[in-house]
Amino acid sequence: MRALLAGARRKQTSLLSLTRRLVLAESPSSDKRAVDACVALAAAQARSLDASVRVHPQRRFGNLLEARFTPHRATSSTGGKPILVLGHLDTVWPIGTLKTMPCRVRGGRLWGPGAMDMKVGAAMALTAIEMVLEAGLLRREIVLLLTGDEEIGSPASRPTTEAIAKTCGAVYVMEPAQGLAYKTARKGIGDWRIEVKGIAAHAGVDFEKGANAIRELARAVETVSGWTNRKRGLTVSVGVIGGGAASNVVPAEAWAEVDVRIPRAVDAALMVRRFAALKPADPRCSVAVSGGISRPPMERSRGTVRLFQKARTLASELGFSLGEASTGGGSDGNFTAALGIPTLDGMGAVGEGAHAQHESVFLDHLAPRTALLAGMLIH
Ligand SMILES: [Zn+2]
């Protein structure tokens, strides 16, 4: 592991310059051409490492990069199932963000839109794979999959991610670390929309004829918010509401958008049942709900814990202690873990400010984490 660490330190400059190229290719999820251009950069890098590269074209969202690194000699192969290294190249930042958040190295950090989440992670993956190849230690196929729509829930890439994951023995997700820790559990995510229809009426002249949709919605907001169970880790948060036309009109319409986080897969059915059973208190109003669980939870499975324990052992050989964390945020690791594939997440950047102005990566951790990833690819 010490040799890997020295190797990762030697590669830090090229890792940073690759990251810089990826960050300069701004790639908001909504801009297919921009994401495709960023994906093409990573594809070129993978080709330079002799990967067999397949770009999965997408119609609306960014293309997917699938790069396969296969052991040359059958004799050196362990015959194990491939390892999937998973990440995304889209970001939450619109084109032009670089003007106010330039890509630069300063104060021991690399700054820039999407640097931490997760272009550094993609560059770390390519660098760790390069190290494994150069050391002649590739004994198990590695599949690097970089998607282009993760930040908007992976609507287009999910089937491909799941199909590839099913053929793999382990999934390493290059999302940022949680503080200094790898992630072994993530909550599942649900999105629901509640729409209430009432009856419009003049608030002064015909008050009794009206059925107030906003009042009815307020009751529904209270009801669903009450399903939160902090002890269990289940949360229901109404994030956006709207409704009404004018203050002197009894409103005929109101709606709310609801964020649901579930720690366990069994909670999904419960939530679906409860939302479906929402009924108006005022019979003249109607309540319609749509939505559902968009990401299943990544539960802390035995296989994932085994991966984490291996990572912790290798980290201690590198001279640092690796923490384990869980989070309420989702990633594509949710999909692979839900299929029962051991999935270790948070293997990318250490830094702070994902999705925020101060998004930045701590340079001190780059080489050790890249070495750790390389170790995980060969042990
Ligand atoms: Zn991310």
Rounded to the nearest whole angstrom, what is the distance from the C-alpha of residue 151 to the centroid of ligand 1? 6
Rounded to the nearest whole angstrom, what is the distance from the C-alpha of residue 91 to the centroid of ligand 1? 7
Percent of residues, the chain, with pLDDT higher than 70? 98
Tens of pLDDT, residues 215-245? 999 999 999 999 999 999 999 999 999 999 9
Rounded to the nearest whole angstrom, what is the distance from the C-alpha of residue 183 to the centroid of ligand 1? 13
pLDDT in the model for residue 79:
65
pLDDT in the model for residue 36:
98
Mean pLDDT of the chain: 96
Rounded to the nearest whole angstrom, what is the distance from the C-alpha of residue 257 to the centroid of ligand 1? 23
Rounded to the nearest whole angstrom, what is the distance from the C-alpha of residue 375 to the centroid of ligand 1? 23
Rounded to the nearest whole angstrom, what is the distance from the C-alpha of residue 141 to the centroid of ligand 1? 24
Rounded to the nearest whole angstrom, what is the distance from the C-alpha of residue 192 to the centroid of ligand 1? 22
Q: Of 42-51, 68-77, 160-169, 332-341, which range is least confident?
A: 68-77
Asked whether the beta carbons of 62 and 35 are under 8 A apart, the reply is yes
**Number of other residues whose CB lies within 10 A of the CB of residue 75:** 6
Rounded to the nearest whole angstrom, what is the distance from the C-alpha of residue 117 to the centroid of ligand 1? 5
DSSP string for 256-306: EEEEEEESSTHHHHHHHHHHHT---SSTTSEEEEEEEEEE--B---HHHHH
Task: State yes or no: pLDDT of 76 exceeds 90.
Answer: no
Rounded to the nearest whole angstrom, what is the distance from the C-alpha of residue 196 to the centroid of ligand 1? 34
Rounded to the nearest whole angstrom, what is the distance from the C-alpha of residue 15 to the centroid of ligand 1? 19
Tens of pLDDT, residues 126-145? 999 999 999 999 999 999 99
Q: Which amino acid is at 169?
A: G
Rounded to the nearest whole angstrom, what is the distance from the C-alpha of residue 354 to the centroid of ligand 1? 8
Rounded to the nearest whole angstrom, what is the distance from the C-alpha of residue 198 to the centroid of ligand 1? 40
Rounded to the nearest whole angstrom, what is the distance from the C-alpha of residue 150 to the centroid of ligand 1? 7
Rounded to the nearest whole angstrom, what is the distance from the C-alpha of residue 226 to the centroid of ligand 1? 30
Rounded to the nearest whole angstrom, what is the distance from the C-alpha of residue 331 to the centroid of ligand 1? 7
Task: State yes or no: pLDDT of 77 exceeds 70.
Answer: no
Task: State yes or no: pLDDT of 74 exceeds 90.
Answer: no
Q: How confident is the model at residue 72 (pLDDT cuts 50, 70, 90)?
A: confident
DSSP-derived 3-state class of residue 238: strand
Tens of pLDDT, residues 23-54? 999 999 999 999 999 999 999 999 999 999 99
Find, among 330, 300, 290, the residue nearest to 189 by Cα: 330
Q: How confident is the model at residue 323 (pLDDT cuts 50, 70, 90)?
A: very high
Rounded to the nearest whole angstrom, what is the distance from the C-alpha of residue 266 to the centroid of ligand 1? 25
Rounded to the nearest whole angstrom, what is the distance from the C-alpha of residue 30 to the centroid of ligand 1? 15
* Ligand 1 ion local residues (Cβ < 5 A): 117-118, 175
pTM of the full predicted structure?
Answer: 0.91
Q: Of 309-313, 322-326, 352-356, which range is least confident?
A: 352-356
Rounded to the nearest whole angstrom, what is the distance from the C-alpha of residue 123 to the centroid of ligand 1? 14
- pLDDT average, residue stretch 157-185: 97
Rounded to the nearest whole angstrom, what is the distance from the C-alpha of residue 175 to the centroid of ligand 1? 5
Rounded to the nearest whole angstrom, what is the distance from the C-alpha of residue 178 to the centroid of ligand 1? 12
Helix ranges (DSSP H) in the chain: 2-10, 12-24, 32-48, 120-134, 158-165, 213-225, 266-276, 302-318, 333-338, 366-378
- pLDDT average, residue stretch 182-211: 97
Rounded to the nearest whole angstrom, what is the distance from the C-alpha of residue 54 to the centroid of ligand 1? 22
Task: State yes or no: pLDDT of 78 exceeds 90.
Answer: no
- How far apart (Å, rounded) are the C-alpha atoms in residues 329 and 101? 24
